[in-house]
Structure 1
Amino acid sequence: MNTITRIAVHLVILLTFAITQGQETKVDSTQKASNSLKIETLKNLKSKIETEEREFLKAEIEAINQRLDDGKITAAEAEDLKKEAAKKRALNIENRLAIIDNKIALLERNNTDYSNNDNDGSYVISIGGNNEYGDEFIFIGNKNKRKPKKYDRRTTTDIVFAFGFNNALIEGESIDDSPYKIGGSGFVELGYAWKTRIFDNTNFWRLKYGFSFQWNKLDIKDNNYLVNTDGDITLEEFPLDLKKAKFRTTNLVFPVHLEFGPSKKIEKENYFRYSTYKKLKVGLGGYAGLNIGSMQKLKYKEDDKRVKDKQRGGYEVSEFVYGVSGYVALGGVALYVKYDLNPLFKDQVIDQNNISVGVRFDMD
């Protein structure tokens, strides 16, 4: 190897070493910044621990007091349970702070990412706790800390979904003479409901209330369609061959039902709940709200061209909507009926009132 070659090899080695050292320095710098951020997060968490444990203790004492009021434990037993709960929470604070201090010391002493080695890259620190209260985890970062269960939860929420057959009861006519098809006419309802137990010591009577969007559709028979003639809404024959003629209203309503039926009481040491799972439920009530839209949809052919005509508004639909409704359910599935007391079209010689029968699902 000549002199020039040896010099070139030495330069390559020196350059490679310099690049490697620079990369290592960059990695170390990035890791230090990452560790510093984690240390700051852990320090901030320490200030929240005592508040969190006090919340848990408060919930436990509330549950103990409720058991005392219900006559399930004596005053002496209640006092002992409170002392045990306070002692447990004090130890939890001590242990949780020690865990965090050790984690901080580990990060301050090393440049490597120990969180991956400990299988806690998301920085979830687990400690022993009361599973019924769900307080056995501390969550850091984007995680939400778990909160203790309430001893008694009187109000629950449901998503309400219903669908089925829809039609109109016309004054002086039977449902068999309806100008709207039974099979093609339908309704859909989607809403949100709250259910509140009315009495303290029984769940037999409940009040269910909320809001819903209702879509009521009528499939018009015999090549007819709806026509507005100076405010008079009538069905007339369409001049061409109709493939489809449908009329739909969209309502925003606020239902209220008195629900009743048996339930099962589930009692735990620190809370209790009532369950209506697989229990018979009956709901009777009504609704009131506003019409927020109406549309007639026509499909036909003209000059061998397919035409879809959507006519929105202009049908003298009642703006204020109100009616009665009820359901009979087993668990979360119910037979559902609703009937509009307001006429579908206002100021008409003959009233038409919307009626719906279908299936309703109340999903917790």
Structure 2
Amino acid sequence: MNNITRLVVCLVIALTFTTVQAQDTKIDSTQTSSNQLKINALKELKTNIENEEREFLKSEVAAINKRLDDGKITASEAENLKKEAAKNRALNIENRLAIIDNKIALLERNDDGYDAEDGDGDGFVLRIGGGEEDKESFVYFGEKSNDKPRKYDRRTTTNVVFALGFNNAIIEGQSLDDSPYKIENSDFFELGYAWKTRLFENTNFWRLKYGFSFQWNKFEMKDNNYLVNTDGEIALQEFPSDLNKAKFRTTNLVFPMHIEFGPSKKIEKDDYFRYSTYKKLKVGLGGYAGLNIGSMQKLKYKEDGDRIKNKQRGGFEVSEFVYGLSGYVALGDIALYVKYDLSPIFKDQLIDQNNISVGIRFDMD
């Protein structure tokens, strides 16, 4: 049964399991009871259990044959593995049908509204992502025992990327020490989602890592200065009163791509294998390109004894198209991370300012 059919069946069960409150109007005696609808749906599940287990067995046998063709196991070992897989699938069918039969028996001897799922540790599951035991499908809704088995080989994996650290600007003709932005109070954050694909069939040394990220680059101005746009020219000027804080932030949506390389450990099981980079050194070199989706200057100061917070959005001539270089050196899931914008922060200026960030990056599986 395909995912769409399974989803429809499970939704029917879920909907019919909802307790129906009594209505003032009379119900036609010929109308099908809610218990009968549940029973019909469960019988449909029974019909499909055997077919699904046979499909799972075919996948396992194919994986065993591949190992045999690759010379990793002998013909005798392959035959034993196939017998064991067939035995397990037969037991799965027997156990799963017994569960369904018990649910049907409960419904047949009870009135409408009885919940056959009470106390049942199997039930239904909604899973998004690889999930427990590295399941094959990315999205699954259905019986927990019916979830798909592992794929024999996964060339592509996914993870969440989070990074933070110090942020500043490289300004043409001056050193970082002379930056008008406070080094200790200027920071950046990045949050994104990444895919990692093994480039070669029989080695995991080279990987391609790609995805999308939101980047927030922040600058805190020194010496009571703030940014002013004068006919398209962006410059720092002294604020007319004492500033408690002056910060400028750009928000970018970018699409990073890195060539990642480094050793990994191969983990081989009877029906699958994986490459693991857990506690392994890895290096990623590449870049990113994307769009600026916002800019804001935040000023905090006092005026006539009142605390003022002034937020100025847009109007700072920031580059709409952003691109740059980035790289990281990681041990396991934690990396030292550097990124540098080749595109200037402010477009069409006499002196270019280019964003630079240094910090820690977490690749969370």
SS in 2 for 1:324: strand
**Matches of 1:312 and 1:115, distance apart in 2:** 55
Alignment of 1:215-294 (within 5 A): 215-294=216-295
Q: What is the CA deviation profile of residues 196-244 of structure 1, one whole-angstrom value per residue up to 9, with x for unaligned ones?
A: 1111111111110000000000000001111111111111111111111
Q: Residue by residue, what CA displacement relative to the aligned partner does 1:105-144 show, whole Å, maximum 9, x if unpaired?
A: 45435669998899428658xxxxxx98989xxx997757
How many residues in Structure 1 have an aligned counterpart in Structure 2? 325
Please give the alpha-carbon distance, in whole angstroms, between the structure 2 residues aligned to 1:299 and 1:118: 57
1:310 aligned counterpart, secondary structure? strand
Q: Closer, same or farther in 2 for the Cα pair 1:228/1:102, shift >3 Å? A: closer
Q: Which digits, 9 at most, give the CA deviation of each residue in 1:296-355, with x for residues without a partner?
A: 111111121111111111111001100000011111111100000011111111100000
Distance 2:350 2:123 in 1: 71
Separation (CA, whole Å) in 1 of partners of 2:91 and 2:192? 46
Deviations 1:140-178 (A, max 9, x none): 977573211000011110100000000000001000000
Q: How far apart, CA to CA, are the structure 2 residues paired with 1:98 and 1:304?
A: 77
Q: 1:301 to 1:74 in 2, by over 3 A?
A: same
* AA matched with 2:174: E
Aligned to 1:46: 46
1:287, 1:323 within 8 Å by CA — same for their partners in 2? yes
Tell me the equivalent position of 2:16. none
CA distance in structure 1 between the aligned counterparts of 2:117 and 2:191, rounded to whole angstroms = 48
Which whole-Å CA distance do the structure 2 matches of 1:39 and 1:90 have between them? 24
1:328 aligns with 2:325: no
Matches of 1:172 and 1:355, distance apart in 2: 16
- Note closer, same or farther for the CA distance 1:231–1:111 as it changes in structure 2 (3 Å cut): closer
Q: Which moved more, 1:195-204 or 1:80-89?
A: 80-89
- Percent identity reads 77
What residue in structure 1 maps to residue 60 of structure 2? 60
The two structures have a TM-score, normalised by structure 2, of: 0.80
Residue aligning to 1:157: 158
Alpha-carbon distance in 1 for matches of 2:102, 2:88:
21
- CA drift at 1:59: 1.9
- The letter of the residue matching 1:359 is I
Residue 166 of structure 1 corresponds to 167
3-state SS in 2 of match to 1:234? strand
Contact 2:117/2:123 (CA < 8 Å) preserved in 1? no
Residues 82-91 or 197-206, more deviating: 82-91
5 Å-filtered alignment, 1:46-195, equals 46-75=46-75, 77-79=77-79, 81-82=81-82, 85-86=85-86, 88-90=88-90, 92-94=92-94, 96-101=96-101, 103-105=103-105, 107-109=107-109, 119-120=119-120, 145-195=146-196
Q: Distance in 2 between matches of 1:219 and 1:117?
A: 58
Q: Which moved more, 1:68-77 or 1:196-205?
A: 68-77
Shift of 1:74: 3.4
Preserved contact between residue 340 and residue 353 of structure 1 (Cα < 8 Å): yes
Matched AA of 1:237: E
Is the Cα–Cα contact under 8 Å of residues 34 and 112 in structure 2 kept in the other structure?
no
Change (3 A) 1:72 1:226: same
Deviates more, 1:217-226 or 1:89-98: 89-98
Query: Does the aligned pair in 2 maintain the 1:280–1:328 contact within 8 Å?
Result: yes
| Contact 1:122–1:140 (Cα < 8 Å) also in 2 | no
SS of the equivalent of 1:62 reads helix
Larger Rg: 1
Cα distance, 1:33 vs structure 2: 5.4
Task: Kindly indicate whether the alpha-carbon contact (under 8 Å) linking 1:41 and 1:140 is maintained by their aligned counterparts in 2.
Answer: no
In structure 2, C-alpha distance between the alignment counterparts of 1:73 and 1:150, rounded to whole Å:
19
Aligned with 2:97: secondary structure? helix
Equivalent residue letter for 2:293: I
Unaligned runs of 5+ in 1: 1-31, 125-130
RMSD of aligned residue pairs (Cα, Å): 3.0
Cα distance in 1 for partners of 2:231, 2:141 equals 67
Q: CA separation in 2, counterparts of 1:113 and 1:174?
A: 75
Corresponding residue of 2:22:
none
Paired amino acid for 1:244: K
Counterpart-to-counterpart distance in 1, 2:234 and 2:159: 38
Inter-partner Cα distance in structure 2 for 1:349 and 1:43: 75
SS of match in other structure, 1:316:
coil
CA contact (8 A) 1:327 1:337 kept: yes
Paired residue for 1:360?
A: 361
Determine the structure 2 residue equivalent to 1:212. Answer: 213
3-state SS, counterpart of residue 45 of structure 2: helix
How far 1:48 moved relative to its partner?
1.8
Aligned residue identity for 1:344: I
Over 3 Å counting, the alpha-carbon distance change for 1:179 and 1:106 in structure 2 is closer
Distance of 2:141 and 2:309 partners within structure 1: 56
SS in 1 for 2:149: coil
Residues of 2 paired with 1:228 and 1:121: CA distance? Answer: 64
Distance 1:337 1:100, change over 3 A: same
Which residue of structure 2 lines up, in the alignment, with residue 14 of structure 1? none
